[in-house]
Homo-oligomer: A and B are copies of this chain.
């Protein structure tokens, strides 16, 4: 089962150069997760032909406007479109107050329920779990409480080797094989050895989202070895001091984090408006960590 990340926006602070503010849609084990929601995200969803009503889970990293000003508009539109199923939101302390005050003054009683989990800043925290996936928050190092998110596929079952499988095997036996068991005959002897009729499980994929943060090696344990890492890279290396002052990261620093955490691929984003042409940012990051790509709006990055 592949996962994919569709970039809906990746500009820092303000929309500029036809680049919107942070938002992306991760689809893992067929479940869509919206991560951050800058102003205009509902328009970006439309533009990318993503049905907003399919989204049941929204993650907000922190309460700087470029990461959440589109949330209340999306909540409101889902209501106006007639949504009835619950919407699950995972965000920083304070988000509940912000949503509540907007709904209060518009005198809106939503026709669906919001389940809002406000993560606590400071620890790795399990936010979501189903039979296939676990999602955690973990602390980043920014000016205000800010969390990264780690999306992990759980270990998968063994795959049936259909070429060798006896045609008449009933479904209950196939499940046994997928669960790693041998199939025994009536005398309790191994009839079909698991190893012979199955292949190893597909790999369990992992994705980590880190925005916004200053360069901080303390985040490495949380993202160690992920298949794909999104890490902010607001500035180029010559703006290193400015990056540190504003609690942001440079391209080189993001690449260093990727290298030290031994991740599979790196996506960089949250580009400062000062950079219209992003190629130099990519080149600089690649000089440290070759498997770097720009998190460009509309682009999709997937893993098998």
A-to-B contact residues, CB < 8 Å: 13-15, 39-40, 42-43, 46, 63-66, 69-70, 72-73, 76-77, 80-81, 92, 94-95, 97-98, 101-102, 104-107, 143-144
Between A and B, 24 residue pairs with Cβ closer than 8 Å are A14-B76, A14-B80, A15-B42, A15-B46, A39-B40, A39-B42, A39-B43, A39-B73, A40-B40, A63-B102, A64-B106, A65-B76, A65-B106, A66-B76, A69-B69, A69-B73, A69-B76, A95-B105, A97-B105, A98-B102, A98-B105, A105-B144, A107-B143, A107-B144
Q: Are B105 and A63 in contact (CB under 8 A)?
A: yes
Q: Are A106 and B144 in contact (CB under 8 A)?
A: yes
For residue A20, which residue of chain B has the nearest CB?
Answer: B43
Q: Are A15 and B39 in contact (CB under 8 A)?
A: no
For residue A39, which residue of chain B has the nearest CB?
Answer: B73
CB distance from A273 to the nearest CB of B (A): 9
Identical chains bound together, number:
2
Known: A65-B72, A65-B76, A73-B39. A105 touches B101 (CB 8 A): no
CB distance from A68 to the nearest CB of B (A): 9
For residue A13, which residue of chain B has the nearest CB?
Answer: B80
Name the B residues within 8 Å of A14 (CB-CB).
42, 76-77, 80-81
Known: A39-B73, A46-B15, A73-B39. A101 touches B97 (CB 8 A): yes
Name the B residues within 8 Å of A76 (CB-CB).
14, 65-66, 69
Q: When A and B form their complex, which 4 residue pairs have the shortest distance between CB atoms, in order from nearest?
A: A94-B105, A63-B105, A39-B73, A65-B76
Beyond contacts A63-B102, A66-B76, A94-B105: 5 other A-B pairs, Cβ-Cβ < 8 A, are A14-B42, A15-B43, A69-B69, A95-B105, A97-B101
Name the B residues within 8 Å of A106 (CB-CB).
63-65, 144
User: In the complex, A93→B66 CA distance in Å?
Assistant: 26
CB distance from A302 to the nearest CB of B (A): 28
